[in-house]
Amino acid sequence: MIDRYAVIGNPISHSKSPLIHTGFAHDSGQAMSYTTLEGPLGQFAATVNQFRAEGGKGLNVTVPFKLDACAYATDLADSARSAGAANALKFEGDRCYAENFDGVGLVRDITHNLGHALRGQRVLLLGAGGATRGAVLPILQQSPARLFIANRTVAKAQDLVAEFLAHGTSAVLEGGGYGDLGAAEVFDVVINATSASLGAELPPLPASAFAAEGLAYDMVYGKGLTPFLQLAQHSGVAHLADGVGMLVEQAAEAFAWWRGVRPETRCMIERISVPLQ
C-alpha cells in the first residue's frame, strides 16, 4: 500500500515540495507518493475532506491556506497555535493534527547548516506577518540576547510582541517600526520575513543595522541576490543566505512527523539551491 501525501496551495504548480519529499522517500525507503493539490479559493475544507476520503495521510500547506489549515484542524501543536497558522497536517481517523514547522526549519538552517549560533545574538526580524509569527518562538528558544520585530505598520509589530509577552514569552522580545532602528543599533542576524523580495522590493532598512561579521537571511528562495541581500552585501555583511535551506528543513520536519524517519537534507539543499549572484 502506497501512502498518499500532497502539498495544497493556490497556485501550486511551482512548488518544489514534490521533488523534495519524493527524494526523501527514495533515500529513506518509504512507500509513499507525494503530489500537488490545487485548492479552489474558499473551498479548503471541501478539498481536504475529499483528499482524506481518498486515503490521504497528510498535507503540507502553503499560501493562501495556512490560516484555513489552522481552523480546520482538531488538534493544534503549540507551534501552530502561537503562529495562528499551520503548514503541515496529519490525519488519523477523525482527528486532524496541525503543526507549523516553518520556524523550526529556519532555526535549523541557520544554526545547523550555516553554523551561525543564535544564542546571545542580536536578532532583527523584518515584517510582522505569518512568517514572523512562526519564527518567534523557535528563535527565542535559542536564547538570543535580543529579538526585535520591525514592521512598516508599527502598531502591528507592537501588537504581535504584546501577544507573545502576554503568554509569558521572554522579555528580550521587542517590536516597533523601521524608524526605531537607530544608526547605532547593529544586529548579528537580520532575517527578512517580508514578501518584499517577491516583487524585487526592499524593506526600508538602514544599512547600518547589519553587523559586518553577521548573517543576512532572506526567507524568499530561488531569486538570487534579492534587493535585501544586495543591501547586506554592499554593507559588508560576511554571510548571506536565502530560504532554500529553511524550505528543505521544514519539509524534513514534516516528513519525520509523518513517517518517523528524519531524512538527510544537505544533498537536497545543494540540489535545489540557486547561486547568490
Query: DSSP letters of 125-174?
Result: EE--SHHHHHHHHHHHTT--SEEEEE-SSHHHHHHHHHHHHHTT--TTEE
| CA separation for the pair 147, 106 (Å, rounded) | 15
Q: At what angle do helices 130-140 and 154-166 cross, to 10 degrees?
A: 40
The CATH number of whichever domain residue 17 belongs to comes to: 3.40.50.10860
Instruction: Specify the number of domains making up the chain.
Output: 2
169 pLDDT more than 80: no
CATH number for the domain spanning 151: value is: 3.40.50.720
pLDDT band with cut points at 50, 70 and 90 for residue 200: confident
Q: Tell me what pLDDT residue 137 has.
A: 92
Q: How far is CA 133 from the centre of its chain?
A: 9
Give yes or no: residues 143 and 226 share one domain. Answer: yes
- Cβ atoms of 91 and 58 closer than 8 Å: yes
Least Cα distance to 150 among 179, 172, 183, 107 occurs for 179
What pLDDT is recorded for position 34? 98
| pLDDT for res 184 | 75
Q: Residue 238 domain-assigned?
A: yes
Mean of pLDDT values over 194-206:
86
Flag whether pLDDT at 140 surpasses 90. yes
Q: What's the pLDDT score for residue 221?
A: 92
Is it the case that residue 6 has pLDDT exceeding 80? yes
Distance CA 173, CA 158 (A): 10
Which residues 6+ apart lie within 8 Å of 132 measured at CB?
A: 125, 149, 160, 193
Identify whether residues 128 and 143 lie together within a single domain.
yes
The answer to the question of residue 277 being in a domain is: no
Q: Is the pLDDT of residue 142 over 90?
A: yes
**133 in any annotated domain:** yes
What pLDDT is attached to residue 152?
Answer: 94
Residues 231 and 218: beta-carbon distance below 8 Å:
no
Same domain, 123 and 80: no
My answer on whether 111 and 157 are in the same domain is: yes
Q: In the chain, what percentage of residues exceed pLDDT 90?
A: 86
**190 lies in a domain?**
yes
**Percent of the chain whose predicted confidence (pLDDT) is above 70:** 99
Do residues 140 and 216 both lie within one domain?
A: yes
Active site residues: 66
Residues 157, 219, single domain; the answer is yes
C-alpha cell recorded at residue 117: 549560533
**Residues 254, 220 within the same domain:** no
Q: How confident is the model at residue 183 (pLDDT cuts 50, 70, 90)?
A: confident
Residues 231 and 268 occupy one common structural domain: no
Q: How many CB atoms lie within 10 A of CB 119?
A: 9
Report the DSSP beta bridge partners of residue 88: 60, 99
The answer to whether residues 57 and 147 belong to one domain is no
113 and 196 inside one domain? yes
- Report the run of H or E that residue 266 belongs to, with start and end: helix 266-272
Average pLDDT estimate for 201-210: 91
Whether 49 and 109 share a structural domain: no
Give the range of the structural domain holding residue 82, as residue numbers without chain letter.
3-100+245-272
pLDDT at residue 167, as a whole number: 73
Name the band, by pLDDT with cuts 50, 70 and 90, for residue 113. Answer: very high
Same-domain pairing of 85 and 111 = no
